[in-house]
């Protein structure tokens, strides 16, 4: 798969980033030694320790993501690749467990500014109560991200999701978004299964031994783990997840195609499934705090440079992102809300100017015609000429 090479690099880099992020209040030993040595040099103008630490951390943000099986890690890396300029803004992607644990990390883990999670996470933690009360008041979202499709991989003797009743089903790693959503989905469908938790590679081996009937991964397609499987082995196969009424409040209909998994799905065929939205979440920092300021700076850079995420080599899931999309049950991060409001005002002002300019152009170019007598073709021709004329006016 085209992301495997980058994944191996990210695994190594992210471990180092997490270490540095969680010890942001201290100066690395090597840096301390360099400062001490430089301070002993005659006439050496060097920053003091406090200044060094402040400058190092003033414009740095961290994003806890996921593992290479899903899209979280790649999107976090993309945000670093596009937005991190090494000076005015540093973006550190951190490998995480997935949506469930990422939410806990955003709420409680020192050094974590943002995290990628799933849109149904508020419902899950309101139900369990394990992260405390009023989670909706403590979390904000910067933007809704991509859709995460449910991949239900089963043994040969399983034909429908209902056939899993009473059997062992892998809900993926503990703390992952797959685990959280799988619990909610099977509860909504009233299908009782025996939940087990392991990584996808371990689950494949458990299925080969007949210990597990199915494994679930909820992640943006195509996923690295499932792309490696081959249908001709006849060991496993993907089956549909019907978009039933019980799932329509929190999920969307989705499709897995041959183009997504050419080794698993025959050409011209597709498999219907469901999807949940991914979310870039942040703690509800006080607007006058340093943490708010840094995340606000990141948010402004993300919105300003969003077009850069829509071209290669960025992950194709960026094309599903709509920065203005609302997320029911969530409240938007203050800085993101202000940026969208300003953009809306600018668009409205631009539309007003466009109408005024077009009216002025029509007056000079077609003074004897009116809107009632003008054909659509004539109006389209005039509008094209207007756009050419407008480019010469400013």
Contact assessment for residue 333 and residue 114, using Cβ atoms and an 8 Å cutoff: no
Structure confidence at residue 127 (pLDDT): 86
User: In this structure, what token pair is assigned to residue 169?
Assistant: 């089903």
Structure confidence at residue 163 (pLDDT): 96
What CA–CA distances, in Å, run from 205 to 198, 235, 254? Answer: 11, 11, 28
Contacts of 355 (CB under 8 A, 6+ apart): none
Residues 281 and 373 in one domain: no
Domain tally, the chain: 2
pTM passes above 0.75: no
Tens of pLDDT, residue by residue over 291-314, are 999 999 999 999 999 999 999 999
Residues 286 and 361 in one domain: no
* 8 against 161, higher pLDDT: 161
Residues 163 and 243 in one domain: yes
Q: How far apart are CA 305 and CA 318, in angstroms?
A: 12
CA angle at residue 95 from 85 to 216, to 5 degrees? Answer: 135
CATH code, domain with 173: 3.40.190.10
Residues 186 and 241 in one domain: yes
Residue with tokens 């609302």: 326
Pick from 332, 353, 370: which residue ends a domain? 332
Structure confidence at residue 115 (pLDDT): 96
Min mean pLDDT across 6-15, 218-227, 307-316 is at: 6-15
How confident is residue 89, by pLDDT bands cut at 50, 70 and 90? very high
- According to DSSP, the residues that pair with 64 across neighbouring strands are 94, 115
Q: Is the residue at 349 inside a domain?
A: yes
Highest mean pLDDT among 56-60, 161-165, 205-209, 358-362: 161-165
Contact assessment for residue 222 and residue 260, using Cβ atoms and an 8 Å cutoff: yes
> Measured between alpha carbons, how far apart are the two ends of the chain, in Å?
47
Q: Is the residue at 24 inside a domain?
A: yes
Structure confidence at residue 10 (pLDDT): 46
How confident is residue 362, by pLDDT bands cut at 50, 70 and 90? low
Residues 275 and 373 in one domain: no
Residues 380 and 276 in one domain: no
How confident is residue 247, by pLDDT bands cut at 50, 70 and 90? very high
Q: Is the residue at 20 inside a domain?
A: yes
**Which structural domain range is residue 385 located in?**
345-391
Q: How far apart are CA 101 and CA 121, in angstroms?
A: 10
Residues 380 and 319 in one domain: no
User: In this structure, what token pair is assigned to residue 248?
Assistant: 């329509």
Pick from 306, 332, 358: which residue ends a domain? 332
Q: Residue 201, CB half-sphere, CA atoms under 13 Å: how many?
A: 5
Q: How far apart are CA 292 and CA 73, in angstroms?
A: 23
Pick from 301, 332, 363: which residue ends a domain? 332
Q: Is the residue at 27 inside a domain?
A: yes
How confident is residue 233, by pLDDT bands cut at 50, 70 and 90? low
* Average pLDDT score over residue span 261-283: 92
Q: Is the residue at 337 inside a domain?
A: no
Q: Is the residue at 380 inside a domain?
A: yes
Average pLDDT over the chain reads: 81
Residues 376 and 302 in one domain: no
* Average pLDDT score over residue span 379-384: 68
Residues in the chain: 394
Residues 292 and 373 in one domain: no
Residues 291 and 376 in one domain: no
Structure confidence at residue 394 (pLDDT): 45
Residues 376 and 243 in one domain: no
Q: What is the DSSP string of 285-301?
A: --TTSHHHHHHHHHHHH
Nearest to 62 by CA among 102, 99, 17: 17
Residues 149 and 53 in one domain: yes
Structure confidence at residue 367 (pLDDT): 64
Per cent of the chain over pLDDT 90 is: 49
Is residue 8 predicted with pLDDT exceeding 50? Answer: no
Q: Is the residue at 340 inside a domain?
A: no
Task: Decide the pairing of beta strands 270-283 and 252-257.
Answer: antiparallel
Per cent of the chain over pLDDT 70 is: 74
Q: Is the residue at 339 inside a domain?
A: no
């Amino acid at each position: 798969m085209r992301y495997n090479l980058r994944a191996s690099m990210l695994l190594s880099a992210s471990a180092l980033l997490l270490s540095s992020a969680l010890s942001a209040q201290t100066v690395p030993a090597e840096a301390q030694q360099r400062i001490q040595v430089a301070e002993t040099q005659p006439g050496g103008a060097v920053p003091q320790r406090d200044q060094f630490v402040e400058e190092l951390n003033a414009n740095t943000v961290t994003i806890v993501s996921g593992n290479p099986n899903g899209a979280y890690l790649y999107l976090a890396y993309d945000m670093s690749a596009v937005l991190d300029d090494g000076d005015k803004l540093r973006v550190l992607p951190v490998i995480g467990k997935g949506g469930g644990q990422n939410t806990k990390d955003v709420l409680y883990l020192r050094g974590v500014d943002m995290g990628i999670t799933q849109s149904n996470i508020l419902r899950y933690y309101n139900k369990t109560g394990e992260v405390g009360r009023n989670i909706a008041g403590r979390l904000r979202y910067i933007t809704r991200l991509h859709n995460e499709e449910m991949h239900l991989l089963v043994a040969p003797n399983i034909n429908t999701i209902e056939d899993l009743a009473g059997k062992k089903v892998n809900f993926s790693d503990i703390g992952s978004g797959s685990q959280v959503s799988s619990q909610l989905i099977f509860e909504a469908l009233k299908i009782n299964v025996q939940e087990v938790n392991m990584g996808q590679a371990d689950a494949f081996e458990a299925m080969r031994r007949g210990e597990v009937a199915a494994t679930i991964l909820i992640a943006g397609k195509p996923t690295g783990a499932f792309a490696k499987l081959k249908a001709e082995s006849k060991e496993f196969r993907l089956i549909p997840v019907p978009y039933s009424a019980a799932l329509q409040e929190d999920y969307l209909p989705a499709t897995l195609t041959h183009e997504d998994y050419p080794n698993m799905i025959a050409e011209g065929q597709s498999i219907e499934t469901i999807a949940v939205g991914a979310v870039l979440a942040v703690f509800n920092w006080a607007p006058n705090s340093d943490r708010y300021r840094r995340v606000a700076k990141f948010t402004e850079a993300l919105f300003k440079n969003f077009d850069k995420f829509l071209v290669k080599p960025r992950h194709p899931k960026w094309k599903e992102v709509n920065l203005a999309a609302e997320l029911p049950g969530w409240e938007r991060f203050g800085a993101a809300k202000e940026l969208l409001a300003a953009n809306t005002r600018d668009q409205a002002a631009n539309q007003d100017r466009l109408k005024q300019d077009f009216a002025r152009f029509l007056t000079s170019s077609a003074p004897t015609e009116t809107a009632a007598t003008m054909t659509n073709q004539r109006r389209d021709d005039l509008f094209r000429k207007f756009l050419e004329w407008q480019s010469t006016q400013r």
